[in-house]
Structure 1
Amino acid sequence: MTSLPISELNARTREIFRLVVEGYLGNGQPVGSKTLAGAGGLSLSSASIRSVLHELEGLGLLAAPHTSAGRLPTEQGLRLFVDGMMQVAEPTLEERTAIESRLGQPGPIEAALTATSALLSELSAAAGVVMVPQREPRLAQMQLVSLGDGQALAVLVGADGSIENRVVAVPQGLPSGTLEQASNFLSAHLGGRTLTEAVRAIRIEIASGHSALDGASRDLVERGLAVWSEDALRRPVLIVRGASNLLDEAALSDLERIRMLLDDLENKQSVAELLDAARAAEATRIFIGAENRLFALSGSSVIASPYRDRDGRVVGVVGVIGPTRLNYARLVPMVDFTAQSLGKLIG
C-alpha cells in the first residue's frame, strides 16, 4: 500500500480522515458517512463524504469491515495520524497528582514498580506494564538443606536480608556432611558478590583443581549454582497489571483477538524483549499492530517509555498494552510523565 505524508492530503480529506480516526478511537466503532455529515463543519453531502472515504480506503488509510458500512483506520492510517496529526493532551492535575502520590508511598522499589503498573492500568483502562531494572543483588550465603527423597532445599540469602528458596535434586542417601561442606564452600564464595560474579569465581576454582571439595560436594555445588543460574535466565523481568481491562464491552465482538492478546501477555519474557526495544528511545515510543512481531496477530498497540536513574542511565521501561483504539493523545504524555516520576525514585 502507498505510504504518504499527511501533507499529501488536501484539507477536506485530512479533516474527514481525522474525524474517522478520532471517532474510532473514541468508541471503537466504524464511522459512517451519515455520522460524519451530522458532525457539523464539513458542509458536505453524504455522497461527497463517501467519495472521500473511498479515496482514503484506496490509499490504505481506512478499511470497511464487512459487518458495517462505516470505515475505521488501518494500522497504516493510525501510524499516519499518530505521527502527523495527533495533538497530545498533557496529563491533568488530577492525573499527575495520582501518579506522584501512588509512587510516593514508602516501601521498597519493587512495590513502587508494581504500583506503577497497576496505576497505568487504572488510568488507561488497558494493561499496565513495567520492565524491572535488570540489576543483580549482592549475596550473603547459600545453604543446602536435605528434604529427603533425593531432594534438597537451596536457600539463597541476599546481602539486603532477602531470602529465596529453590528445590534441587540430589543423589539418594547423601551424607549430611556433604551438604554442609558444599554449603560452606558456596557461602565462602558468595559473600559480597553477585550471582554472576560468584558463579564465575567458583567454577574457575573448581576447574583449577585447587578446591578441597570431594566429588560429591563438587556435584552439589554445581547443582546449587545451576538451579539459581537457570532461574535467573527464566525469571520474568516484567510486571503486568490490569489485563482484565482488555475484556471491555467493545472487545466482546472480537473475543478471538483478545484471547490472542492475553496469551501474548502470558509470555512475559517476549513482552520484555519487545519493551527492551524502547530502551534506546529518547522519548515515548508507539508500536501499532503488526509493527511489532509479538502482537501482530492480536492487532494490539504498545505505548512505552524508558525511565532513567539519577545518573541518566536507562534502567527500565514503563508502558501500556491494549487494542489499537487506545487514546494515544492522552496516554503518550501520561506514560512519559509516569516514566519521569518513576525515574526520580531509582537510585
Structure 2
Amino acid sequence: MSNVPLNELTERARAIFQLVVEGYLADGQPVGSKMLATDGRVNLSPASIRSVLADLEGLGLLAAPHTSAGRMPTDTGLRLFVDGMMQVAEPSKEERTAIEQRLGEPGPIEQALEATSSLLSDISGAAGMVMVPQREVRLRQFSIVPLSAQQVLAVLVGLDGQVENRVVDLSTPADPSVLEQASNFINSRLSGKTLAEAAGELRREIASGHSALDNASSDLVQRGLAVWTKDPAQRPVLIVRGQANLLDDGAIQDLERVRSLLDDLESKQSVAELLEDAREAESTRIFIGSENRLFSLSGSSVIASPYRDSEGKVVGVLGVIGPTRLNYARVVPMVDFTARSLGKLIG
C-alpha cells in the first residue's frame, strides 16, 4: 500500500497523476508536460503542469528518468494507482468463453496447466506462470489397453474424475489374459488409494508371497504404476510460458533489467516461493517492483491468484510476470477469472 493517502492529493494533482500513469502503462514511455497540456483533459498551462509534476515527484509518486524526458510512476506511485484509482475492465462474455474453452480441451492435467500458462502469457503480453498442484491422485479405475506387441496404454481415472494415460513399454509381449488380470487386480485391490500407497501395497504383497498375480501380471502392474508414482518428483514446481514476450521494444532500452528478470525466471524455485505468498490471499495479489526482494533489480511486477478445488482448498497459484508497465486494469480480472476457471476444471 502507498504511504501517500490518495485524499491528500488535490483534484488536479490526482488528474495529472492518473494521466501520467495511464500514459506510461500504455506505451512504457515517460510523459511530459507538453503532452499533458495538449491532451485536452487538463486545462492548465505547461508551466502549471510542470509545477504539479514536481510536487508529485517530491511525494515519491513520480520520477524523471532523464533530464527533460518527462515523468513516469515510481513503484510507490503504481501502488497508489492500483489500490486507489484503477478501474478494472472485467472480461467480456466472449473472453470468458474463450478462456473456458481453451482450458477445457481434452487431455491430461499437465496439458491444462501448460495451456493456462500460455493463455496468461497471451492475455498479458508478458510471461505466464502456473504452480503445479501438490496433491496425489487417488485411483478409481485403472485399465491397461494393448497398443502393439510390446506396448500398452495405461489409463488412470481418479476419484475426482481426472483421466490421464501413459504408454508403457514391455520387455516381452503380453497376452490379453495378462492385461485383464493386471487391470482386475488394480481395480479390486488398489482402488481408492493414492498411487504411492498402491505401489507400496503391491510391493509388500509380492514380498510376502501372498500376491494373487502371476509373474507376468505382477511385472505389468508394477510397470503401470511406476509411470505414475514417479510423476510428482519429475513434474516442475512451476510452468512458465511466454518469456519471449519480455523482449519487446522497451526491452532494448533496458537490457540489463530484462536480463535480470530472465535470470529470475530460470530460478523457478525462487519465483515459486514468491507465488506461495499468494496462496492464502482471498483474491488476486499484485507485487510491484522493489516491493519484493526477488524483483528489486529487474523492476518487475507479478499478478498472482490462488486457484482452488471443488472443496475450496487452495491447490496452486497462477499469474503473470512482466515489466511494471503491465496493463493492470485488464490483466488483474483476467488472472482472477482464469484462476476460477482452472479451479472448476481440476474439481
TM-score by length of 1: 0.74
Displacement, 1:31? 0.2
Q: 2:116 maps to which residue?
A: 116
Q: 2:296 maps to which residue?
A: 296
Q: 1:336 maps to which residue?
A: 336
The DSSP-based 3-state class of the residue aligned with 2:345 is coil
Displacement, 1:115? 0.6
> Percent identity over the alignment?
71
Amino acid at match of 2:265: L
Displacement, 1:236? 2.7
Displacement, 1:196? 7.0
Q: 1:26 maps to which residue?
A: 26
Q: 2:213 maps to which residue?
A: none
CA contact (8 A) 1:30 1:68 kept: no
The DSSP-based 3-state class of the residue aligned with 2:254 is helix
Q: Structure 1 residue 319 and structure 2 residue 319: aligned? A: yes
Compare 98-107 and 319-328 and name the one that shifted more. Answer: 98-107
Amino acid at match of 1:61: L
Whole-angstrom CA distance in 1 between matches of 2:67 and 2:235:
43
Amino acid at match of 2:61: L
Whole-angstrom CA distance in 2 between matches of 1:233 and 1:242:
24
CA contact (8 A) 2:31 2:72 kept: yes
Displacement, 1:108? 1.7
Whole-angstrom CA distance in 2 between matches of 1:89 and 1:53:
27
Paired residues, what number? 289
Q: Structure 1 residue 306 and structure 2 residue 317: aligned? A: no
CA contact (8 A) 1:138 1:158 kept: no
Whole-angstrom CA distance in 2 between matches of 1:101 and 1:163:
24
Amino acid at match of 1:38: T
Amino acid at match of 2:285: R
Q: 2:287 maps to which residue?
A: 287
Question: Which residues in structure 2 correspond to 1:1-347 (within 5 Å)?
Answer: 3-66=3-66, 68-137=68-137, 236-347=236-347
Runs of 4+ in 1 over 3 A off after TM superposition: 157-165, 191-201, 228-235
Change (3 A) 1:345 1:234: closer
Whole-angstrom CA distance in 2 between matches of 1:41 and 1:336:
32
CA contact (8 A) 2:56 2:62 kept: yes
Cα displacement string for residues 187-223 of structure 1 (whole angstroms, at most 9, x for unaligned residues) = xxxx77658769999xxx9xxxxx99xxxxxxxxxxx
Change (3 A) 1:158 1:237: farther
CA contact (8 A) 1:318 1:339 kept: yes
Cα displacement string for residues 119-156 of structure 1 (whole angstroms, at most 9, x for unaligned residues) = 111121100111111113469xxxxxxxxxxxxxxxxx
Displacement, 1:69? 2.4
Whole-angstrom CA distance in 1 between matches of 2:343 and 2:67:
46
Change (3 A) 1:17 1:164: farther
Whole-angstrom CA distance in 2 between matches of 1:76 and 1:233:
40
CA contact (8 A) 1:129 1:238 kept: yes
Displacement, 1:79? 0.2
Amino acid at match of 1:320: V
Compare 230-239 and 269-278 and name the one that shifted more. Answer: 230-239
Q: 1:154 maps to which residue?
A: none
Displacement, 1:346? 1.1
Whole-angstrom CA distance in 1 between matches of 2:75 and 2:83:
12
Displacement, 1:272? 1.2
Displacement, 1:92? 2.3
Q: CA RMSD in A?
A: 3.2
CA contact (8 A) 1:137 1:159 kept: no
CA contact (8 A) 1:309 1:344 kept: yes
Cα displacement string for residues 229-276 of structure 1 (whole angstroms, at most 9, x for unaligned residues) = 999668532111101001011111001101111111111111111111
Q: 2:222 maps to which residue?
A: none
Q: Which runs of 5+ in 1 are unaligned?
A: 140-156, 166-190, 206-210, 213-227
Displacement, 1:94? 3.0
CA contact (8 A) 1:284 1:305 kept: yes
Cα displacement string for residues 104-124 of structure 1 (whole angstroms, at most 9, x for unaligned residues) = 211122211111110111121
Cα displacement string for residues 1-53 of structure 1 (whole angstroms, at most 9, x for unaligned residues) = x9211111010100000000000000000000000001113111100000000
Whole-angstrom CA distance in 2 between matches of 1:164 and 1:107:
14
Change (3 A) 1:42 1:302: same
Cα displacement string for residues 142-199 of structure 1 (whole angstroms, at most 9, x for unaligned residues) = xxxxxxxxxxxxxxx996686699xxxxxxxxxxxxxxxxxxxxxxxxx776587699
Displacement, 1:93? 2.9
The DSSP-based 3-state class of the residue aligned with 2:65 is coil
CA contact (8 A) 2:131 2:318 kept: yes
The DSSP-based 3-state class of the residue aligned with 1:21 is helix
Displacement, 1:297? 1.0
Whole-angstrom CA distance in 1 between matches of 2:5 and 2:338:
31
Whole-angstrom CA distance in 2 between matches of 1:17 and 1:116:
35
Whole-angstrom CA distance in 2 between matches of 1:262 and 1:230:
29
CA contact (8 A) 1:89 1:333 kept: yes
Whole-angstrom CA distance in 1 between matches of 2:236 and 2:138:
19
Q: Which runs of 5+ in 2 are unaligned?
A: 140-153, 158-163, 169-189, 209-227
Compare 272-281 and 19-28 and name the one that shifted more. Answer: 272-281
Amino acid at match of 2:22: E
